[in-house]
Structure 1
């Protein structure tokens, strides 16, 4: 693991200055681990009493302010015991009596009055509090800071998934109830804990090599960073999958990382499930759906907040351009959105495998067209993400067939106007060596008030095939115009020549 001072480089300075700040980052980024380590370090240095504790125990008392206060004070006392604080540093036992709505600030003031060191508190999972309980907690901390600065907590960090600006939504969604921009407007800074850099990923994996002697090949390190973009849980989960679950004992290669990535996606660990559970929220759909469709999002007044919320959750990258945070999330999102469709596909992987392990790709396309004619309109009509429903149906079909040992790489994003897919199927060639079949597809939609996207699609597909160094590909155009022919009449294959002279299979569906 990386030292807390490296993960939170500004925190020590803000504590020394007696500042109140917010630390936020997506789930499984290392917030709790780093804060707990920082608290231990600050206390061990002898200049402060620093304590880290979780607010989750109070999360069930959304409208009971008194119960929330007592739960928080109880967790603070328990954290002191767990940290083995000497008696002179422990909080008051019992906490002083105070009317509901003031017990937290009264208790903390009493602790500060008897404690021989400046008090530093890290409120972890602060955004697990809701409604009145959250508002009151933040207001008591602000009141202690503004009215009793010398006799109150020296430095406070609020830690959670979201920045403090989003606490208004957690407290009921009506900013007018707060009477100010934020009930915690005393904060000096909002710090977002970042993902690992490439150098940090190398350092973490290098710690494993130093401890065990097992090495990662340079390509494995490249691929691990590419798939995770440094998301801390994914970085650790990939390596753990290879070492603990796949039980690889030799040098870890890019093939091992590829397999581990697929296993993580299929297993849908708790961390991944907690992310995809958000896909049905309107704020998240507002950002994710146009990303998949390749269109420009509706940048109405709610767009900025929706984008910030999606970034705080870790679903999209925090910087421009707007994009899914990493290729693993990219894949998981599409698989989850198409999982219901995949469950009704009767065809199985074995039906499309040639004796050497390659895919019978022509048959796959033909079977999809037949499936689309019968089921396309119904399945597309049932999808919550209606704008990308046809693409989800095709990708679900590919998942069902290719998942028997192959891989699907996807490229999509704002303004692209298409989804690019690369199907990769390992097989054994005639010399007995490992080889890889690669098939490229481009998916486009023909919507009302638009011209036929064929010409643009061929240009785009040529560019994609140039990058892949492939001689041919498939262009799929879903006709979603109101005046389109019936699905059984319009779904057909043809061959067409691209501007670069390639023979392209065109599927209009």
Structure 2
């Protein structure tokens, strides 16, 4: 485990200065661990009484008065677990104030009685909904802005979302944060970052120190590339190799083992990945993910910035501009989840696409997809949530079905690229018996009334993709989405074209 506080040094300073601030990060990135470490560090000074508690037990309640009772219970339990000195514990009973006022008066009374500065670290604050969330934040604001009463010295609001998105969760307009809003008291918003490659090496190095089992440099690099440092993924990959594959402690963990762990993790779709996949059909999510798949753009409107903040806070996309899917594992999971229903309709035997040496028969993949598209396009190109990306998802489903765990599909998603680049990585044995890797590149584009014919642009863009990969050839697939396009059986064909640099490219018109 990496020490959490050095990764977030501002948090301790904010708490000591008496700030009310936000700590947020996607699920399973170390938020609760960081809060516990922060509480421990503050309590160790002898100056603060810091208590971390969760709002989850009040998450299903709609009545603020009922919720405050659950929250006060959670505070008392965690204060006792924190082993605070008796004089620092909450008052017993909390308060005889009327319903709806007990949380405010309870915290005020506790702060008045406690000989230390009181710090509340509120975990899962964004699990509260509607009026319950508004009420909780408003009472914190009232206490924060009141000069004549004692109230908690510092409050940390911790959850998956930034404070601006709390207003959307409560049913309000996140674009209007007026001066009387309960959402505008935070002194800052801190985000727990993903691991760097050196931090992954440090974390895996702890395992080496304890067991003697080494991770090769290439395995660490592969883990970083696949996860981009997402903490849960970094841990899950190592755990799969060590505990599930049961690789002996005297055997070095190589990049080949890490590749297997990546594929196994994607195929298993563990809880963390499933929780992200469940979000894909939310309108706020699909408005960004769909154009990433197609390479299109997102229309800017009043909710654009807040929706973008939301998918970033979920951890689905990067904080870069333009946004990208956060890591290759998420890219693969998104592609598989959205194309899953189509895969069951593809009657293709993966072994039929293998050559004797274990490579994929790419020409057969191309021919069989053309036949499949002619027979099924009008039925499959009807996805409702991701209608604009339906043809892209069908092609990915076909590739996934024929690759079927024997290789990896690398998907390059990005807004505004006007294309989707795909790469199949397929291990095989070379003539000398050594492990080798087959790489096959595909580029997908869409012809519409707006874009016009895409072949010339596609060949030029594919040239750049192949240059970057060091490959001699590739496949360009152009889907015709015009309303007056010829019937699919007439317009779908396979042939060749020459790229601007002179490469012979397989051209599929669909």
Interval containing the TM-score (normalised by the shorter chain)? over 0.9
Equivalent in the alignment of 1:51: 51
Alignment of 1:318-329 (within 5 A): 318-329=319-330
Find the aligned partners of 1:264 and 1:290 in 2 and give their Cα distance.
26
Superposed CA offset, 1:367-402 (max 9, x none): 111111111121111342111111100100111110
Does 2:280 match 1:279?
A: yes
Equivalent in the alignment of 2:463: 462
Q: TM-score, normalized by length of structure 2? A: 0.96
Equivalent in the alignment of 1:489: 490
Change (3 A) 1:181 1:243: farther
Indicate conservation of the 8 Å contact 1:21/1:190, yes or no: yes
Equivalent in the alignment of 1:33: 33
Equivalent in the alignment of 2:108: 109
Q: CA deviation at 1:173?
A: 3.0
Change (3 A) 1:182 1:247: farther
Q: CA deviation at 1:198?
A: 2.1
Equivalent in the alignment of 2:258: 257
Change (3 A) 1:182 1:160: farther
Find the aligned partners of 2:323 and 2:8 in 1 and give their Cα distance.
25
Q: CA deviation at 1:474?
A: 0.9
Alignment of 1:330-349 (within 5 A): 330-349=331-350
Equivalent in the alignment of 1:136: 135
Equivalent in the alignment of 2:434: 433
Q: CA deviation at 1:126?
A: 0.3
SS at match of 1:494: strand
Find the aligned partners of 2:376 and 2:326 in 1 and give their Cα distance.
32
Indicate conservation of the 8 Å contact 2:324/2:414, yes or no: yes
Q: CA deviation at 1:320?
A: 2.1
Find the aligned partners of 1:109 and 1:284 in 2 and give their Cα distance.
40
Q: CA deviation at 1:71?
A: 0.3
Find the aligned partners of 2:223 and 2:302 in 1 and give their Cα distance.
37
Instruction: Give 5+ residue unaligned stretches, structure 1.
Output: none
* C-alpha RMSD over aligned residues: 1.6
Find the aligned partners of 2:220 and 2:175 in 1 and give their Cα distance.
50
Equivalent in the alignment of 2:66: 67
Indicate conservation of the 8 Å contact 1:175/1:181, yes or no: no
Find the aligned partners of 1:157 and 1:109 in 2 and give their Cα distance.
17
SS at match of 2:122: strand
Does 2:246 match 1:247?
A: yes
Find the aligned partners of 1:488 and 1:79 in 2 and give their Cα distance.
67
Change (3 A) 1:414 1:214: same
Does 2:194 match 1:202?
A: no
Equivalent in the alignment of 2:82: 83
Does 2:410 match 1:396?
A: no
Indicate conservation of the 8 Å contact 2:219/2:253, yes or no: yes
Superposed CA offset, 1:424-461 (max 9, x none): 21112233222222211111111113221111111111
Indicate conservation of the 8 Å contact 1:349/1:404, yes or no: no
Deviates more, 1:140-149 or 1:12-21: 140-149
Q: TM-score, normalized by length of structure 1? A: 0.96
Find the aligned partners of 1:190 and 1:245 in 2 and give their Cα distance.
38
Change (3 A) 1:25 1:176: closer
Q: CA deviation at 1:116?
A: 1.5
Superposed CA offset, 1:182-206 (max 9, x none): 3132211111111112221221111
Equivalent in the alignment of 1:93: 92
Q: How many residues align?
A: 508
Change (3 A) 1:434 1:4: closer
